[in-house]
Amino acid sequence: MEVIIKPDAVAVSKEAAGIFREQLATKPESVLGLATGGTPLGLYRELVALFTAGRVDFSQCTTFNLDEYVGLGAAHGHSYASYMQEHLFTQVNIDSARAHVPDGLAPDVPQHCEAYEQAIQRAGGIDLQLLGIGGDGHIGFNEPGSALGSRTRIKTLTRQTIVDNARFFGREQDVPHHVITMGVGTIMDARHCLVLATGAHKAAAVAAMAEGPVTAMVPASALQFHRKCTLIIDEAAAAQLSRRDYYRWVYDHKPEWQRV
């Protein structure tokens, strides 16, 4: 896993935006895996700014979001589909027919999950998968205990995740208890995983993910087996990494030909 430590959240977003820009410049028809929540907001702002400046083109790409709340339709103000519309899809030239978010109102959830997996396959697989990390080590909404080979399916959120996400809903009682999420195995199939984390409240999860044992109790730790995973974090989120000086050394001495 490549660990990149930046001074603050803005620098994390800029570094991540550079990776997205490079991906789309190299392969305009890339399949992008996208995330929601607080962490990627700065990245989406950067991508919108790059698009406005004519420096990135989304017209040929396809996107698949990680997850959606069960029971919330795309038009619901707190659905992840509407989050994506607000923060990215309506701000750039992504073809709406190729922007996929799981359907929180799917009448047959297992069948919808299977179809979502097949759509990813048909698109050629995910080239670049964006991920945040939960305070409990989840990726997507694969909560602790999730099978490390899991595929897209329904999951029950932990009490902690419900409390964490209540800030988007206003009231804890309004946070749905179930989600449709790509599985850890679905995420592991992506050609490149890009994990972002900022803030001291993520420091323990980041250390467990990157330096702890690989265990279903920290689903993000499965990424230690990924052939190409980039973790971009700010100083606060890096605070509990025992090898952070080494990661800085590696980054600062990266050969020119490896720089994006």
35 binds ligand F6R (CB under 6 A): yes
Asked whether position 195 contacts ligand F6R by CB under 6 A, the answer is: no
Cα distance between residue 46 and residue 41, in whole Å: 9
The answer to whether residue 233 forms part of the interface with ligand F6R (CB under 6 A) is no
Report how far residue 232's alpha carbon sits from residue 157's, in angstroms, rounded to the nearest whole number. 25
**Pairing of the two strands 128-131 and 192-197:** parallel
- If one counts every other C-beta atom within 10 angstroms of the C-beta of residue 200, the result is 13
Residue nearest to ligand F6R (CB): 132
Does the footprint of ligand F6R cover residue 143 (CB under 6 A)? no
- Say how far apart CA 95 and CA 89 lie, in whole Å: 8
Residue found by looking up tokens 């205990």 in the block:
145
> Which of 36, 63, 82, 221 touches ligand F6R (CB under 6 A)?
36
Which listed range, 37-45, 52-60, 117-125, 246-254, lies at the site for ligand F6R (CB under 6 A)? 37-45
Q: Which amino acid is at 260?
A: V
Which listed residue (127, 136, 189, 234) is catalytic? 136
Does 82 bind ligand F6R (CB under 6 A)? Our answer is: no
CB-based burial label for 2 (10 Å; 0-12, 13-18, 19+): middle
What is the residue type of 72? L
Which residue among 33, 42, 134, 183 contacts ligand F6R (CB under 6 A)?
Answer: 134
Q: Which stretch binds ligand F6R (CB under 6 A): 16-24, 90-98, 103-111, 131-139?
A: 131-139
Q: Say if residues 187 and 140 touch (Cβ distance below 8 Å).
A: yes
Told to check if 23 binds ligand F6R by CB under 6 A, we report: no
**Residue of 46, 67, 103, 127 with catalytic role:** 67
- Which CB, 40 or 56, lies closer to ligand F6R? 40
- Please give the Cα distance from 56 to 8 (Å, whole number): 24
Pick 30 or 198: Cβ nearer ligand F6R? 198
Listed ranges 69-77, 138-146, 210-218, 242-250: which one lies at the site for ligand F6R (CB under 6 A): 138-146
Residue 241 near ligand F6R by CB under 6 A: no
Cα within 13 Å of Cα(165), Cβ side? 24
Among residues 190, 259, 202, the alpha carbon closest in space to that of 227 is found at 190
- The reply to whether 183 sits near ligand F6R by the rule CB under 6 A is no
Rounded Cα distance between 79 and 165, Å, is 12
Active site (annotated) includes residue 67: yes
Q: Is residue 139 a contact point for ligand F6R (CB under 6 A)? A: yes
Is 201 marked active-site? no
The radius of gyration of the chain from alpha carbons, rounded to an integer in Å, stands at 17
Nearer to ligand F6R, 51 or 141 (CB): 141
Binding residues for ligand F6R, rule: CB under 6 A, are 35-39, 66-67, 132-134, 138-141
Which residues are identified as catalytic? 67, 136, 138, 143
